[in-house]
Homo-oligomer: A and B are copies of this chain.
Amino acid sequence: MKLSAKNLDIASRGVLLNRADARSIGVLDGDRVQVINPKNGVSVAAFVETTSTIAQQGTIGVYRFTNERLHLDEGTEIEIREAARPVSLDFIKKKMDNGRLTKEEMLTIIKDVVSDDLSSAELTAFIIASYINPLDMDEVEHLTRAMVETGEHIKFASRPIVDKHSIGGVPGNKISLLVVPIIAASGLKIPKTSSRAITGAGGTADLMEVLAKVEFSAGEVQKMTDKVGGVIVWGGATNIAPADDHIIIQEYPFKIDARGQMLASVMAKKYAVGANLVVIDIPVGEHTKVPTLQEGKKLARGFIELGERLNMKVECALTYGDIPVGRSIGPKLEVIEALRVLEGATEPNSFIQKSLSLAGIALEMSGKAARGTGASMAQDILTKGKALEKFRQIIEIQGGDPNVKSGDIVPGEHQFVVNAPSSGYVIGMNNRSLITLARIAGAPHDSGAGILLHAKKGNLIKSGEPLFTLYADRSWRLQNAIEEGRRLMPILVEGMLLDRVPSTSEF
């Protein structure tokens, strides 16, 4: 049966058949059919949905993501047939039964992931199976190489190429905005691809977007890096290791981050941009992804071993991750803080010292600095203004205003200061609650939204003094954040009431 194609502008996958046609072809909702565009020969497996009205008899609706692959013109006559069951499903089943996947099996799965030939449920099965039956190091290597192979790569004419990654979970971790310009200013190349926040209050890409464009192709990343030594772009736009995005989306509901997949995901992105010197920041702490030093060291050994298999030199820094880095959380607030430091500010110490340590490790790995002198070389580059100069070049080449100053960035116009309810030391800060609060205020989508901390853990504060300020771009979001803040109590001051019966709605 010939069906006439009809583009369905819905952000989804699959095809929509009239129920009568589906019945006559013999397919049911959820069946997988093969759709071929006769004009370009592209063939795609797609899942079937049915309707009595939205697609007329004789027509086939094609959802947007599926048609982005098929490029069917409206009205093209197409034939569909039952699709073969992807052999990937057998390999996923093998992992469910605790088998070890070969290089070819892993590549087959990842190819199907990237080409959307697996449903979200089928991909979830793979993720859950590899979470419960963890990938061994061979499988992690296969996965890494498969992720690289199914995306774009960058090859630089010369080495070393430096890269840096933080495994996340700590709010305010804006250190790439210092580390990248310091490394690039030293004469090394650092083509930094970053993520946008999924569960956080601002990924490095969300931050950089305050200052410049962040969506570039892999080729543009290479050219810009060759020109100014470094970039800070959004990895999602480059098609580098695209399997990772598919996987992360499915992990999201369960808040899992399976070790093997995390290793593969990080290292595939570094490998694909041609990096051979990699510094990994592993924040350790109760409210991070890595609760203990012991686990941090184990993870570090995983990164180092995987690096060796891929001919990459890896060093890991276990960092203090129990409280935010610096005093700002949320895109614009974090950018202001970073620019101030680049412009000469000597505070906040936690942010500066962490950035210099990480940059220092890379400088030592590359041989630019002798062992033990990397951090001071980084400090030198920062205080002499070379990092600021380099950052401006990076902003400019990414299409931003190179003359931007910290004072030019205006955070959210709607603000609310939360004062200390009692005098005493700050005894607790909850990363998760701070992130939640910043998100309720609108971060990262509303770039002016976020939290500015006036006191950090261990500081002495007097009753009535400002504890933190909430920022929002929209007043209703500020109201929501204020209400939620009362419940979350993200910062605890010694002597503060944790609860009161009967309850009061005072903050």
Q: Report chain B residues within 8 Å CB of A250.
A: 121
Tell me if A253 and B89 are in contact (CB < 8 A): yes
Tell me if B26 and A442 are in contact (CB < 8 A): yes
A131: Cβ under 8 A from any B Cβ: yes
Assembled-state Cα–Cα distance A441/B387 (Å): 72
Tell me if B8 and A93 are in contact (CB < 8 A): no
Interface size, A (range): 35 or more
A11: Cβ under 8 A from any B Cβ: yes
Q: Report chain B residues within 8 Å CB of A119.
A: 120-121, 253
A122: Cβ under 8 A from any B Cβ: yes
Per a CB cutoff under 8 Å, which of B26, B49, B122, B255 touches A11?
Answer: B49
A249: Cβ under 8 A from any B Cβ: yes
Tell me if A85 and B10 are in contact (CB < 8 A): no
Tell me if A93 and B129 are in contact (CB < 8 A): no
A136: Cβ under 8 A from any B Cβ: no
Per a CB cutoff under 8 Å, which of B11, B89, B96, B249 touches A51?
Answer: B11
Tell me if B26 and A16 are in contact (CB < 8 A): no
Assembled-state Cα–Cα distance A51/B121 (Å): 23
CB distance from A197 to the nearest CB of B (A): 12
Q: Report chain B residues within 8 Å CB of A11.
A: 19, 29, 49-51
Assembled-state Cα–Cα distance A119/B250 (Å): 11
Tell me if B26 and A121 are in contact (CB < 8 A): no
Q: Report chain B residues within 8 Å CB of A29.
A: 11
Q: Report chain B residues within 8 Å CB of A53.
A: 9
Q: Report chain B residues within 8 Å CB of A243.
A: none
Convert A227-260 into 0s and 1s, putting 1 for each residue whose CB lies closer than 8 angstroms to a CB of B. Answer: 0000000000000000000000110011110000
CB distance from A57 to the nearest CB of B (A): 14
Most buried by B among A51, A98, A253: A253
Tell me if A445 and B26 are in contact (CB < 8 A): yes
Q: Report chain B residues within 8 Å CB of A120.
A: 119-121
Q: Report chain B residues within 8 Å CB of A132.
A: 96, 98, 128-129, 132-133
Assembled-state Cα–Cα distance A120/B122 (Å): 9
Tell me if A9 and B123 are in contact (CB < 8 A): no
A429: Cβ under 8 A from any B Cβ: no
Per a CB cutoff under 8 Å, which of B89, B128, B445 touches A129?
Answer: B128
Residue of B nearest to A123 (CB): B121
Tell me if A30 and B96 are in contact (CB < 8 A): no
Per a CB cutoff under 8 Å, which of B23, B124, B129 touches A121?
Answer: B124
A125: Cβ under 8 A from any B Cβ: yes
Tell me if B133 and A254 are in contact (CB < 8 A): no
A54: Cβ under 8 A from any B Cβ: yes
Tell me if A256 and B96 are in contact (CB < 8 A): yes
Tell me if B54 and A9 are in contact (CB < 8 A): yes
Which A20-41 residues have C-beta < 8 A from chain B? 23, 26, 29-30
CB distance from A365 to the nearest CB of B (A): 37
* Known A10-B16, A96-B132; contact A125-B122, beta-carbon cutoff 8 A: no
Tell me if B10 and A92 are in contact (CB < 8 A): no
Assembled-state Cα–Cα distance A92/B442 (Å): 29
Q: Report chain B residues within 8 Å CB of A255.
A: 93
Shortest 9 CB-CB contacts between residues of A and residues of B: A121-B124, A120-B121, A9-B53, A128-B128, A121-B121, A132-B132, A11-B50, A11-B29, A10-B51
Inter-chain pairs besides A96-B131, A96-B254, 20 sampled, C-beta below 8 Å: A8-B54, A9-B51, A9-B53, A10-B49, A11-B29, A23-B445, A26-B442, A30-B249, A96-B128, A96-B256, A119-B121, A120-B121, A121-B123, A121-B124, A122-B124, A124-B125, A125-B125, A128-B129, A132-B132, A132-B133
Show 11 A/B contacts (Cβ-Cβ < 8 Å), sorted by A. A10-B51, A10-B54, A11-B51, A12-B49, A30-B249, A96-B132, A120-B121, A121-B253, A124-B128, A125-B125, A125-B128
